[in-house]
Structure 1
Amino acid sequence: MEPDKSNTAKVVTFGEVLMRLSPSEHRKLQQAHQMDFFFGGTEMNVAASLSFFDLQTQHITNVSNDLVGDAAIAAMRKAGIDVTAVNKVAYPLGIYFLEVGSGLRSSRIAYNRLHGAFAHIKPEQVDWEKCFEGCTHFHWTGITPAISEGAYLTLKDGLKVAKEKGIVVTADPAYRSNLWKYGQDGHKILKELVSYSTVFIGGVNEINEILGTDFSFDKENFIKASNRLMEECTSIEKVFDKVRTGLSASWQKIYGQAWTGENYIATNELEITSVVDRIGTGDAYAAGIIYGLQHYDDQRTLEFANAACALKHTILGDANLVSVDEVLEVMEGKTGGRIKR
């Protein structure tokens, strides 16, 4: 039986749903004869993770009006995501191909998304007032406004309504230079959209991209960069960052740091020595922040997000299929992987 989420906080996400095609067993595409597929997408991954944390979630997107779009909707339903604001349109679903790396060999991705279903979304397709009924948190990423002008304008409308309603808006505004193809200045647009947001999920690199600054990556400059962001985008109240050290494709270290406007906080570093899947780890971190903001103080929120991110490295597919209890166990130092009987 699915848990009753009717009385929980509602999180709304907006963004593209993609089909991921990937050879199994770390094969390169040229040596594969069949591929596994998964449905995901940055914002959908966040919604799925929060749904597995027993929060009420709704995802807004366009999918193809065919059997592929139907399968994408079924995948969202299976993850417990409300799909009543998903539009079916006469364009193909976006796809991407992933070669999963191992050891010294990096993973490689090729996208086919710029002319897909989501790229054709228009502001009039989304009833933000209806979608935000009962909503407490809204999450967006920098990938969405990069895909098309329609996606940018639709998101901007949503952020205006969210601000009017006092909804907490979490922004993960990663800049992807290869996506901005419709003649707009991505840096300028991201700064505009961040100015409607409350919580910034990113670090010095993202702040430098948006503000055109050149802060370095040490602790003091993270604090300076965060303060500069709060000065120029006055709605931002907190900055949460994930710091990654990649020793190889299979061996990663991560820790979290944050600036609350008054205090710098950080977590211990977690080490993942046998990575199963890197895709969606940043989304797992963002979901951990959103969940934590509703349940914990800032320090525990950061620790929860870091543990959730670490666990996603062990899960095949785009979504983080772990429970709150599993994340809490890692936070408590139970990382030995003992069999539970």
Structure 2
Amino acid sequence: MKTVTFGELLLRLQPEGYYRFVQTDRLTATFGGAEANVALSLANFGEESFFVTKLPVHEIGQCAVNSLRKFGVRTEYISRGGNRVGIYFNERGASQRPSKCIYDRAGSSVAMSTKSDYNWNLILENASWFHFTGITPALGGELPEICIEACSAANSRGIPVSCDLNYRSKLWTKNQARQTMEKIAPYVDICISNEEDAKDVFGIAAADTDIENGKLNAEGYKNVALQLAEKYGFKKVAITMRSSINANRNKWSALFYDGKECFFSREYDMAVVDRLGGGDSFCAGLIHSLLKNEDGQKAVEFASAASCLKHSIEGDFNMVSVEEVEHLVNGDSSGRILR
């Protein structure tokens, strides 16, 4: 099925291994970004996946486009223009030292987008899904209005709209996020959040939870999902729950509220290779499952397993197949060699 995601594709620069910024003389260069990560996962799952953004016409912009094309993501709706590709620098954490992310994306091509850059009538023709995240309107300029325009166009065609809240404190304040996302919320069918975003964006928190000390109350998040649906009219709500024991070991699970009932996935105890893109891989798994009309339990199990596997893969992109995800869903979490 045709899926469309909209956001920024970034150049990711990172020291090799566990080197810190201040001790390295070389950085590896890859590409990533929330909505692009979702698009690539959906392509790997066999969907006709389109990614929409704006990129410059120079060689680095073309490298960004090529990074998606080689995995089967459709790029013909990418607008070309502007002067720069957004950048983020990532330093991988270890043990009790957290990872660090530094943005250099001000004035990027997509941040300077105008409404005329995107023909949503054409882009959404015959689409079965539209997805974006709270990062995109956080970039400012005309992007909040562009997101509303895209969501409205999807609504008018009966296309489900999903939004991962993805609050980023380095891009905007909680108050700015709430004011903007409350304007966008009426156009969203499926709200996706992590254990913190619902509180940061909408002020809805889970009771008896201490995120910094790794204490999460699953039943409290059930109440968060119900409140989000009731207050903002979301038809469905998904919440991922991460308990960080340290930078290298996390516990991971999720819940999915289908408008009638809450479903909880199994919890995974993960040795983390790279956690960036973990939430995006969950979004893609959930979208893929809902497009297949899977029931709530199957959908949240597939999405959680897809995300668990992403934590074992370097880079932003989740390079796994449906078969690999289903292998984990079906109970084999041993990591034993397949031959």
Amino acid at match of 2:327: E
What is the CA distance between 1:208 and its match in structure 2? 2.9
Q: 1:254 aligns with which of 236, 252, 259?
A: 252
CA contact (8 A) 1:12 1:135 kept: yes
Match of 1:242 in 2: 240
Match of 2:287 in 1: 290
Equivalent runs, 1:124-203 vs 2, <5 Å: 124-180=116-172, 185-203=176-194
Q: 2:274 aligns with which of 269, 273, 277?
A: 277
CA contact (8 A) 1:21 1:37 kept: yes
Amino acid at match of 1:173: L
Match of 1:4 in 2: none
1:128-179 deviation line (CA, Å, top 9, x unaligned):
0101111111001000000012111111100110111110111101222321
Q: 1:54 aligns with which of 34, 46, 53?
A: 46
1 CA distance for matches of 2:83 and 2:268? 42
1 CA distance for matches of 2:246 and 2:172? 30
Gap runs ≥5 in structure 2: 210-216
1 CA distance for matches of 2:63 and 2:239? 34
Q: 1:212 aligns with which of 203, 207, 218?
A: 203
What is the CA distance between 1:32 and its match in structure 2? 1.4
Equivalent position SS for 1:119: coil
Match of 2:36 in 1: 44
What is the CA distance between 1:99 and its match in structure 2? 0.8
Match of 2:94 in 1: 102
What is the CA distance between 1:215 and its match in structure 2? 4.4
Match of 2:298 in 1: 300
CA contact (8 A) 1:100 1:108 kept: yes
1:262-291 deviation line (CA, Å, top 9, x unaligned):
212111111112x21111011001111101
Tell which deviates more after alignment, 119-128 or 262-271: 262-271
1 CA distance for matches of 2:96 and 2:176? 35
What is the CA distance between 1:11 and its match in structure 2? 0.8
What is the CA distance between 1:261 and its match in structure 2? 2.5
Give the TM-score normalised by the residue count of structure 1.
0.92
Match of 2:81 in 1: 89
Match of 2:228 in 1: 229
Match of 2:212 in 1: none
2 CA distance for matches of 1:196 and 1:210? 16
Tell which deviates more after alignment, 313-322 or 185-194: 185-194
1:214-247 deviation line (CA, Å, top 9, x unaligned):
542434433333222222222x111111111111
- C-alpha change, 1:221 and 1:272, in structure 2 (3 Å) is closer
CA contact (8 A) 2:8 2:33 kept: yes
Q: 1:321 aligns with which of 316, 319, 322?
A: 319
What is the CA distance between 1:204 and its match in structure 2? 5.9
Match of 1:64 in 2: 56
CA contact (8 A) 2:222 2:255 kept: no
2 CA distance for matches of 1:224 and 1:277? 30
1 CA distance for matches of 2:274 and 2:197? 23
CA contact (8 A) 1:203 1:239 kept: no
Amino acid at match of 1:101: G
CA contact (8 A) 2:195 2:240 kept: no
Q: Between Structure 1 and Structure 2, how many residues are aligned?
A: 330
Tell which deviates more after alignment, 189-198 or 171-180: 171-180
2 CA distance for matches of 1:204 and 1:340? 34
Identical aligned pairs, as a percentage? 32
What is the CA distance between 1:12 and its match in structure 2? 0.2
2 CA distance for matches of 1:219 and 1:311? 22
CA contact (8 A) 1:45 1:319 kept: yes
Tell which deviates more after alignment, 30-39 or 310-319: 30-39
1 CA distance for matches of 2:312 and 2:220? 32
Match of 1:3 in 2: none
CA contact (8 A) 1:142 1:175 kept: yes
1:99-141 deviation line (CA, Å, top 9, x unaligned):
1112222111111012111110111110001011111110010
CA contact (8 A) 1:303 1:331 kept: yes
Match of 2:214 in 1: none
What is the CA distance between 1:56 and its match in structure 2? 0.6
Match of 2:334 in 1: 336
CA contact (8 A) 1:239 1:260 kept: yes
Amino acid at match of 1:283: D
Match of 1:6 in 2: none
Runs ≥4 residues deviating over 4 A = none
Gap runs ≥5 in structure 1: 1-8
Give the TM-score normalised by the residue count of structure 2.
0.93
Amino acid at match of 1:188: Q
